[in-house]
Chains A and B, each alone.
Chain A
Amino acid sequence: MNRDQALFEFLLRMGDSTLILSHRISEWCGHAPVIEEDIALANTALDLIGQTQFWLELAGEVEGKGRTADNLAHLRDAWDFRNLLLVERPNGDFGKTLMRQFLFDVWQSLMLAKLKGSSDQRIADIAEKASKEVAYHVERSANTVISLGDGTEESHQRMQDALEDLYPYVGEMFIGDKVDEVLVKAGIAPDPASLRAEYDRIVGDVMYKATLQLPEDDFAHQGGKTGRHTEHLGYILADMQFLQRAYPGAEW
């Protein structure tokens, strides 16, 4: 695997994760528990769509086959998507959505912090802009997870269930492979495993405040980063790609 191939894969991992998560969050629009939360979720989704455009545009540029961000988003099948499995998990209730958001936000903020120092200036620039947005995402999702975990008996139970349900999708974030090796060597991206300690510290701290128990079993589902997804992604793409697929070549 040469550098550009690895870089292309890596950019898809970043861009597909923000793309699929923004899609999931946008499903909430008009259905949140209060208007203030509805508006806040939409803000997060909008940030993530913007980041997706940057990552996927750069991916297309690195690939050099003339594919745009939209081509990549709307004309690949599931096996070519490289998002984390976590982000394609169904929304569930509001608490589960926010738990998924928090688990992702912490990882993303740590990743972006490292990427700000990337040897590839294009990546450093995207990370610089995105990290400001994500700093707010973490603050907000952490606050909500704490409130709901340490809220009522019912909310506590729901959040504990959400954590147990989603935690097996956390491990994948930190498992490196050939792609990462090439990029670490080139100083482009960090070793995923190097983010784990800080991640555990932050998540542990928030879960403590939320009075939630981290699962002891550290089993990790994998496959998202190499294109083996859950059944859910296919349905997401069926929705997301419908118009581009049904009316090929049309401009919107």
Chain B
Amino acid sequence: MSNEWPLWEVFIRGQHGMSHRHVGSLHAADAESAMMNARDVYTRRNEGVSIWVVEAAHIAASAPGDKGPLFEPANSKVYRHPTFFDIPDDAGAM
């Protein structure tokens, strides 16, 4: 068995109430250490108020080859966007 510490992906919520965002990776023996390492490595400049760490092996990712079937069908659903609808200015804010 390899003795390299597992790879973890780090997600941080910044100061302004946004969602957690992927900021990078690091190595750690377990979740507790990964959390501390994330704090030490990725929040040195006041970057965050909340941290998630996920072991990289546990992330399921979409395959690049599936890009067409996964994402292109949404292209034709333009009616999901508010700009699709023409509402007269006289109707007021909406």
Chain A interfacial positions (CB closer than 8 Å to B): 34, 36, 39-40, 43, 136, 139-140, 143, 147
Contact = CB atoms under 8 A, between A and B. Distances in A.
Contacts of B33: 36, 143, 147
B32 interface: yes
Interface residues of B, number: 13
B28 A36 contact: yes
A206 to B, nearest CB: 14
15 contacts: A36-B26, A36-B28, A36-B33, A36-B41, A39-B37, A39-B40, A39-B44, A40-B36, A40-B40, A43-B40, A136-B39, A139-B36, A140-B36, A143-B32, A143-B36
A43 B40 CA distance: 7
A147 B29 CA distance: 10
B71 interface: no
Nearest to B39: A136
B5 interface: yes
B27 interface: yes
**Most chain B CB within a 10 A radius of its CB, from A36, A39, A136:** A36
A193 B39 CA distance: 34
A36 B36 CA distance: 9
Interface in B24-64: 26-29, 32-33, 36-37, 39-41, 44
A36 B32 contact: no
B37 A40 contact: yes
A185 to B, nearest CB: 40
B71 to A, nearest CB: 35
Nearest to A37: B37
Contacts of B41: 36, 39
Contacts of B5: 34
A31 B33 CA distance: 19
Contacts of B29: 147
Nearest to B26: A36
Contacts of A140: 36
Nearest to B38: A36
A158 B33 CA distance: 21
Contacts of A136: 39
A211 to B, nearest CB: 17
Given A34-B5, A36-B37, A43-B40, 5 more contacts: A36-B26, A36-B28, A39-B37, A39-B41, A136-B39
A139 B37 CA distance: 12
Contacts of A39: 37, 40-41, 44
A147 B5 CA distance: 14
A143 B32 CA distance: 8
A139 B28 CA distance: 16
A177 to B, nearest CB: 37
B25 to A, nearest CB: 11
Nearest to A42: B40
A205 B9 CA distance: 32
Contacts of B27: 34, 36
A102 to B, nearest CB: 14
A140 B32 CA distance: 10
B36 A43 contact: no
Contacts of A43: 40, 44
B36 to A, nearest CB: 5
